[in-house]
Amino acid sequence: MRRAVFGQATGIIVTLLGLLILTFVIGRIMPVDPVRAIVGEDAPREVYDRVFRQLGLDRPVWEQFLLYLRDVLRFDFGTSIRTGQPVLEDIKRVLPATIELATFAIIIGASLGIAMGVTAAVNKDRWPDHVIRIVSLMGHSMPIFWTGMIGLLIFYAALGWVGGSGRMSQFYIGMVPETTGFLLIDSAIAGEWDVFKSALRHLILPASLLGYSSAAYITRMTRSFMLDQLGQEYVTTARVKGLSSRQTVWRHAFANIRVQLVTIVALAYGSLLEGAVLIETVFAWPGFGQYLTSNLLIGDMNAVMTCVLVVGVIFIGLNILSDLLYRVFDPRTR
């Protein structure tokens, strides 16, 4: 057990170090002059040189990396050019909005995708299978920004079933103190149920569209895993013994693909956290993806490098969580 823990800890440290090196290299090869981004295009040469030295860009590359590593270990990621605030404070402010959106989306996507995948596998080459494959193919093929705009036109503008852009109606802005950053939780803590309802109405449509997009991928993988298990001899034995179709499918076949599905759902969740840029843009959602895009367009490298690092840490954390869940679902890995 000690060897396993030590090996996993060593792997995490090496991965984080590699991620830091990659982030540092990205910051150096990007076609953006960080000094010009700070001082402007018309700054005098002496001002440019002074800022150049202050940033440590006149030092050898290995020394610049050590300084960068020192700052990261101190949780000092610099100041954003666009907001004038520490980058870490900006990310703390915008990340909860994306986590809230991605969490609802993965709940919808995993529930829908697993159910459709199992149904398609059980009804292989019959009409339910064909319908589900067409639906999942559409979700995988349609651009998310297009479905977002169509969704706003139909469900918000025409039918009025959901909220529009933003996290809540303009009328409620500032009514709830930011305790956790998660609007639904903060409004519930404050007892502002009108704000809670408004936030939920604004969350439903973008989360559903993201969930549908991830459900398409989860459906395909679940169907593939289930077809492989349904063709195994133990399934035939269970049917010969007289077990019902429900017991055979869910208690036996599905139980053997849970470990694989953990990885699929974890990766889908990580993709939603770092890839919700387009849906956040369409819905004016003040989240992590929109923050990254805005700073990338103006060359704010402190913010961009920190965002890349955060995305990497998120995926590392999800992989660790997947390993822990493996031990829950598969006794052989304990």
Q: What is the mean pLDDT of residues 172-189?
A: 84
Domain ranges of the chain: 2-73, 96-333
**pLDDT at residue 10 in the model:** 79
The runs of H, that is alpha helices, within 123-174 are 127-141, 144-151
This prediction has a pTM of: 0.83
Res 3 pLDDT > 80? no
> Residue 259 half-sphere exposure, CB side, CA atoms within 13 Å?
11
Q: How far apart are CA 41 and CA 189, in angstroms?
A: 48
Torsion over CA of 313, 317, 323 and 325, rounded to 10 degrees?
Answer: -160
Using DSSP's 3-state secondary structure scheme, residue 72 falls into helix
The string over 22-34, giving b where at least 16 C-beta atoms fall within 10 Å of a residue's C-beta and e elsewhere, is ebbeebeeeeeeb
Tokens (6 digits) for 234: 């133990």
Tokens (6 digits) for 299: 């060359």
Query: Roughly what angle, to the nearest 10 degrees, separates helices 258-275 and 288-298?
Result: 50
pLDDT tens digits for range 230-250: 888 887 787 887 777 888 888
- Range with lowest mean pLDDT among 27-31, 71-75, 164-168, 271-275: 27-31
Residue 79's DSSP bridge partners are 86
Estimate to the nearest angstrom the gap between the alpha carbon of 124 and the chain centroid.
32
Concatenated DSSP letters for 283-295?
TT--SHHHHHHHH
Tell me which CATH code domain 96-333 carries.
Answer: 1.10.3720.10
